[in-house]
Amino acid sequence: MRTAYRLALVGNPNCGKSAVFNALTGSRQKVANYPGVTVERKAGRFESASGVVFDVVDLPGSYSLRGCSPDEEITRDVILGRHVEEAAPDVVLCVVDATNLRQHLRLVLEVMRQGKPVIVALNMMDLAARLGLEIDADRLSKELGVPVVETVAVRKAGLQSLLDRLSTDLPDYIKSHPPQSASWHALNAQDVRQIHSQAKRIADAVILRQGGAHRATQVIDDIVLHPVMGPVVLVIVLFFMFQAVFSWAQAPMGWLDTGIVHLQGFLRHELPAGYVRSLLADGILAGVGSVIIFLPQIAILFTFILLLEASGYMVRAAFLMDNLMGRVGLNGRAFIPLLSSFACAVPGIMATRTIENPRDRLTTILIAPLMTCSARLPVYTLIIAAFIPNLDVGWGFGLQGLVMLGLYAAGVVSALVIAGVLKLTVTKGTAQPLIMELPTYKMPILRDIIIGVWQRLKIFLRRAGTIILGAMIVLWVLASFPAPPPEADLPAIYYSFAGIIGHFLEPLFAPIGFNWEIVIALIPGMAAREVAVAALGTVYALSGSADAIGRSLSLTLQSAWSLPTGLAFLVWYIFAPQCLATLAATRRETNSWVWPSFMFGYLITLAYLASFITYRVASAWG
Amino acid sequence: MTFEFQYENEYHVQQDAESPPMDQITGQSLGSLKLGQKGRVVCISGLENGGLTRLDGDDLERRLLEIGFMEGDEVQILHFGPVGRDPIAVRLGSMIVALRRREADAILVEPCL
């Protein structure tokens, strides 16, 4: 006897499929990528009351089986049973939004043409009832010739009839549909028209009473999509979101920081001095800790993104921004990922998954690191304090603040320019049209949000525990070995591999005004941008708390660096690709080493050129 | 804004036996409707005012059909984007679809007054 039935969940986008999946499997789900593509594979397992076990896979939402995007290709290939990794499902559960029956029936009809055993979940029956819509489910079942079950996925009980149906009738149902090897070809336009007519006929027959329009959606859209009010609302929403990301995260980030510092102190106290202690406390804890500390920001950011997504507002934001973004060849949906990148490029790059078109998505990933992330702030603050006089330039603006604003603006402007250039060169190809559904507004389901945030955090933590951990160990080795000679009067790092590499690279960086101390600091600073501050502290043989280093380092740098060097260093960090986490995220999301290498290459080239120009111009004026 | 839709052989537009010949179809592009105005779709061609869009015509035609546009159905303009009145949000039965002006031009409608 077989152990588990394979069940594939299929449906149009916005049919409530993910809610059905989450309700069926709860937290027992695995999220991974399909090999070779960046499409998420969501699978899970559940057991019915009578002990029948189901392996469920939640296939990407799709309007047809044609496969217009990598997501839709997966859906098509799995249903047709020709996916390499995924076995053909025993039964296809088509989730249909009852309030949009006619449109969603088309996919059901297309799947049925392949001779698969299909069960239809007539979802969102609660909303249909509220709108006064009445559907004859038995009649629908007769018209289609497949079982139809009414569901309300937002409530657990709403799936009971589906579970009963699955566990009692399923074995016979599957037996009555022997696997067929129907030849498949993509529907041409006339086929689609024919299915349209068929769907219309069935919908007209089974809809007993038409429902009214979703009033709340009309009212909200009249404000949110208003040509003047809409952008104002968008700005308010975004302001609130970033306020939350920075202010709410402050306390938990402080706790994490304190925890890491305590743990470091504990290790230094308990372990004998030596390489093990140094590796654990200075290498791993300091390095991984500097990344882990962003966990609260990422959690808050993703909570907001998922709330905006689930409520239906996200596509409205894309609608408002599409024209402006379209001018540099970006898609409206790139807006939120890019905004997220102001907190940290890693969640920003992860958030590009909402962009369906792979080319637009790649462009967005490649320019995400140009948004000034919070890790650059310590560097900017340090250098501005050291080199920019605290002048009042009038109207309450200080010169230091203006320089900071200018650095942010420089990041945004260069991102837009580069997006335009990439569109014409690297990510060239047929531009995809923007055709997207604006779904009715829905109250986000807490369970779905929690599961979503948790999955993102798990991805982030796994990375911190693997690739970043590995890189930290490598950097620690580079900065610690070989040990300085006993008569050394320079800081230990000077004699290490990092120091040797720094010296070796120094001539390369001399044209942009970087001295060997900076070049050495750039090497451990590869891990994360703000680590460069700590590294400069080490190089200039300073010790103490981060704040104390910051204050005294600022004074040290003032005397040690010329103004052009300071400015060149500042400009370097607008572009510098010095963030392993970002490169690792790019590697993961693009599933290739090509794009992170390309990202590193183009960013470091820009950083070098911009610093060179800054250094030369400032020197000429100086 | 009404114009005659010219059928040109080289585009190989498929047509139903029942539907009227292409050269008899008259309509204006969906993008030319006013805010709140309703219209009936007369032709989804994948051709934008007689020229091809950036997608090839057949692909765009299917894309529009797949998201839910269909000849004979009523559409209503609900919202315009804030810049350049682009994109356009259209009511389509019980769903709302947003599309760029460029793509909207591939849909010919007969305005309902």
| Nearest alpha carbon to residue A368 among A589, A122, A185, A591 | A589
The amino acid sitting at B66 is E
CB contact under 8 A, A438 and B54: no
Count CA within 13 A, CB hemisphere, residue A497.
10
Tokens in use for A42?
Answer: 């969501």
Q: What is the mean pLDDT of chain A?
A: 84
If pLDDT is split at 50, 70 and 90, which confidence band does B34 have?
very high
Q: Residue A36 above 70 pLDDT?
A: no
pLDDT tens digit sequence for B44-80? 986 654 444 445 677 888 889 999 999 999 999 999 9
**CATH among 2.60.40.10, 3.90.550.10, 3.40.50.720, 2.30.30.90 for B3-112:** 2.30.30.90
User: How many beta-carbon contacts under 8 Å exist across A and B?
Assistant: 121
Mean pLDDT of B14-39: 72
Complex prediction ipTM: 0.79
Q: What percent of chain A has pLDDT over 90?
A: 28
| Whole-prediction pTM | 0.79
B98–A contact, CB cutoff 8 A: yes
Summarize pLDDT for A41-52 with one digit per residue, the tens.
889 998 887 788
pLDDT band for position A85 (50/70/90)? confident
Among A62-66, A393-397, A405-409, A479-483, which stretch is predicted with the lowest mean pLDDT? A393-397
Looking at chain B, which residue has its C-alpha nearest residue A320? B81
The backbone torsions φ and ψ at residue B105, rounded to the nearest 5 degrees and listed phi first, read: -70, -15
Number of alpha carbons in the 13 Å side-chain half-sphere of residue A11: 25
Name the phi and psi angles at A426, rounded to 5.
-65, -50
Q: Point out the least confidently predicted range of A64-68, A183-187, A193-197.
A: A183-187
pLDDT in tens, A203-254: 999 999 888 888 899 999 999 999 999 999 998 888 788 778 767 878 888 8
Helices A594-621, A563-575: inter-axial angle, 10-degree rounding: 160
C-alpha A135: how far from its chain's center? 39
Q: In this complex, is the C-beta atom of A192 within 8 Å of any C-beta atom belonging to chain B?
A: yes
Q: Does A99 touch chain B (CB under 8 A)?
A: yes
Q: Left, alpha or beta for B44 (phi > 0: left; psi -120 to 50: alpha)?
A: beta
Measure the N-to-C terminal CA separation of chain A; round to a whole number of Å: 84
A500: burial class by Cβ within 10 Å (0-12, 13-18, 19+)? middle
Does the pLDDT at position B7 exceed 60?
no
Could A196 and B79 be called an inter-chain contact, meaning their C-beta atoms sit closer than 8 Å? no
Q: Find, in chain A, the residue whose alpha carbon is nearest to that of B93.
A: A100
Reading the block at residue B70, the tokens are 């269909």
Provide the residue count of chain B: 113
Q: Say whether B38 sits in a helix, a strand or coil.
A: strand
Helix (H) / strand (E) element for A505: namely helix A497-509
**Are A64 and B97 an interchain contact pair (Cβ–Cβ within 8 Å)?**
no
In the predicted structure, residue A542 carries a pLDDT above the cut 60: no
Kindly write down the DSSP assignment for every residue of A448-498, as one continuous string. HHHHHHHHHHHHHHHHIIIIIHHHHHHHHHHHH-SPPPTT--S-GGGGSHH
Give the pLDDT mean for A105-112.
Answer: 94
Per-residue model confidence (pLDDT) at position B3: 41
A312-330, pLDDT tens digit by residue?
A: 998 899 899 888 888 887 8
Where do the domains of chain A lie, and which CATH numbers do they carry? Answer: 4-212 (3.40.50.300)
CA gap A64, A108 in Å, rounded: 9
Per mean pLDDT, which range of A120-129, A182-191, A402-411, A609-618 is the poorest?
A182-191
3-state SS assignment for residue A264 = helix
Query: Taking the domains of chain B in order of start, what are their residue ranges?
Result: 3-112
Cα–Cα distance measured from residue A227 to residue B83, given in angstroms and rounded to the nearest whole number: 8
Which tokens in the block code for residue A429? 């190809």
- In chain A, % of residues over pLDDT 70: 92
Q: What is the mean pLDDT of residues A365-394?
A: 83
CA distance A218 to chain B (A): 9
User: Residues near A266 by Cβ (< 8 Å), separated by ≥ 6?
Assistant: none
